[in-house]
Structure 1
Amino acid sequence: MVSASKLIPSGFIGISIVIGLTTFYIISDQSKQKRKEHVEGIVSQLINLIIFIWIGKIIVNFFVFIEDPLAILAYPSSSHALYIAVLMSIFVNISNTNSRHNDVPLFIESLLLVFLVASFVYEFIQLVWNNNSYAFGYLVLSCILLVLFISSHGRIKAPALIVMIVTVWSGGMILLTFTQPFVTVFDYIMVPWFVCLFFLISISITIINNRKRGSDGWN
C-alpha cells in the first residue's frame, strides 16, 4: 500500500499543473481552438514524460529490475531517472518535428507558461505547507520569470521569448546551486551540468526549427 507521505507530494504536483494549465487557458490570447489543442498537447507531453521517468527508473535500477521486476515499484523516481526522461522526451520531439504543425514555438511558449505557473505554485506550497526554506530561492526565481514572461509576451516573438526565459532560468538555477545546498524542481534535485545541458539543447532545438521552417513558422 502506498503511504500518504508519497501520495501527498504527487498530489501537490498534480494541483500545481492543473493550476498552470488553467492559468494558461484563461490568460492566453490564442483562439479557443488553439488553446484547447495546446492544453491537449501539454497533457500528452506530461504523460510521455511520466512514462519516460518510469523507463529511466528501470535503467537506473536495471540489475534490481532484472532480478525482481516488481521490486522497482518500491523505488522512488530519482533525479537521474528524470534526467533520462527529459533527454528522451527531447529526442522524441526532435524526431517528430517534421510531423508537427508550424506552431511549434507557440506551443513551447504555452508549455513554458504552464511550467512557470506550476513551479511557482508548487514552491509556494512547499514553503507554506512544509515550511521548506530551500523552496524560497526557486520561488523567487519562478516569480521573476513569470513577470518577465508576461511583460514580454506579445512584445517580442516566441523564439526570442523562449530563449530569454530559458537563459534566465538556467542562469538562476546555476546561481541557486552555488548559493544553497541543493535546488529542486518538483522535488527533483537539479545539478549544474544538467541545467547547462538543457540550456544548450533548448537553443539547438530553436536553431533547428528556425532553419527547417523559416522565419514564417516562427512568428
Structure 2
Amino acid sequence: MSIWVLIPIFILLISMTAGLLFFYIVSPLTKAERKKQIEEVASLLINFLLFIWVGKILLNLTVFFQDPLAILAYPSNSHAFYIAVLLSGLTVLYKCIRKQEKTFSTLFSFIPVFLVGSFVFEFIQLNLNKNPYTLVYLGLLVLLIVAFLLVQERIAPGKIAIIILSGWTAGQLFLAYVFPFVTVFGYLIAPWFLIVFYLVMTTLYVLKVNVSQ
C-alpha cells in the first residue's frame, strides 16, 4: 500500500488531536466532565473513521471479495463520507433512544473539536496545495471558533450547537457559490448534502425541545 494513502489519515489524526486538546483547555466543564466528553467525542471520531472504511468496502464490494487487502489502497471519496455520516448518525440516534444519552451535550463538545481540527487540517492543506478556497474557509473557521468561545458560557449547549452549525452551513453554501467545490477534511461535499444535514440536525433539535417541554 502506498504511503500516500496513509498521509491524509495521519493529517486527520493530528488535526483531531489538536481539536481534542483545544476542547480540554477552553471547556468550562469540570475535569471529570471534560474527560467524559472527550471520551464520547473520541469514540464518535473513531466510529466515523471506521465507517469511512465501511463505506469504501460497500462502494467496492467486487474488489473487496476478490482481494480484501486491495481495498486499503483505494482512496476514500465523498460517497464513503456520506455513508460514514449516515452510519454515525444512526449510531448516535441509537444511543440517544436506547441509552438515554444527552446527544446535544456531545454535539456541543464536538463543535470546538471539529472547528479546531478543521482549522489545523486546512492550514496544513494550505501549505501543501496553496488553494485560495482553503484560505477563505480558514477565515470562516476562525470566526466560528471566536463566536463559540464568546457564547459557550452564556447560551444553552443545544442552542450553541445549532447556532454554530447554522453559521458553518451558511458559510459553506456561500463558498460553494463562489468556488466550484467545498470540502470537509479533504472530502468534496455537495451543497445538497449540507442542506440535508442542516435540516436533519435542526429538526432533531426542535423535536428534542418540544419533548422536554
Which range, TM-score by smaller chain? over 0.9
Matches within 5 A, 1:20-59: 20-59=19-58
Which moved further from structure 2: 129-138 or 190-199?
Answer: 129-138
Shift of residue 146, structure 1, vs aligned partner: 0.8
Shift of residue 105, structure 1, vs aligned partner: 2.2
Shift of residue 198, structure 1, vs aligned partner: 0.8
1:12–1:70 Cα change, 3 Å: closer
Matches within 5 A, 1:1-219: 1-3=1-3, 5-100=4-99, 103-212=102-211, 214=212
Q: Distance in 2 between matches of 1:103 and 1:92?
A: 13
Maintained 8 Å contact 2:2/2:73: no
Q: Distance in 2 between matches of 1:33 and 1:121?
A: 26
Q: Distance in 2 between matches of 1:6 and 1:201?
A: 32
Which moved further from structure 2: 61-70 or 121-130?
Answer: 61-70
Tell me, which stretches of 5 or more residues in structure 1 are unaligned?
none
Alignment identity in percent? 41
Q: Which residue identity lines up with residue 115 of structure 1 in the other structure?
A: F
Q: Distance in 2 between matches of 1:10 and 1:134?
A: 21
Q: Deviations over 1:12-43 (max 9, x none)?
A: 21111111100100110101011000111111
Maintained 8 Å contact 1:16/1:121: yes
Q: Distance in 2 between matches of 1:165 and 1:58?
A: 33
SS of residue in 2 equivalent to 1:12: helix
Shift of residue 62, structure 1, vs aligned partner: 2.4
Tell me the number of residue pairs that the alignment of Structure 1 and Structure 2 aligns: 213
Shift of residue 92, structure 1, vs aligned partner: 1.7
Q: Distance in 2 between matches of 1:54 and 1:27?
A: 32
RMSD over aligned Cα, in angstroms? 1.7
SS of residue in 2 equivalent to 1:96: helix
Shift of residue 115, structure 1, vs aligned partner: 0.3
Shift of residue 163, structure 1, vs aligned partner: 1.1
1:51–1:9 Cα change, 3 Å: closer
1:122–1:183 Cα change, 3 Å: same
Q: Distance in 2 between matches of 1:211 and 1:2?
A: 51
Q: Which residue identity lines up with residue 141 of structure 1 in the other structure?
A: L
Maintained 8 Å contact 1:94/1:205: no
Which moved further from structure 2: 99-108 or 47-56?
Answer: 99-108
Maintained 8 Å contact 2:95/2:101: no
Shift of residue 102, structure 1, vs aligned partner: 5.4
Q: Distance in 1 between matches of 2:79 and 2:205?
A: 25
1:211–1:9 Cα change, 3 Å: same
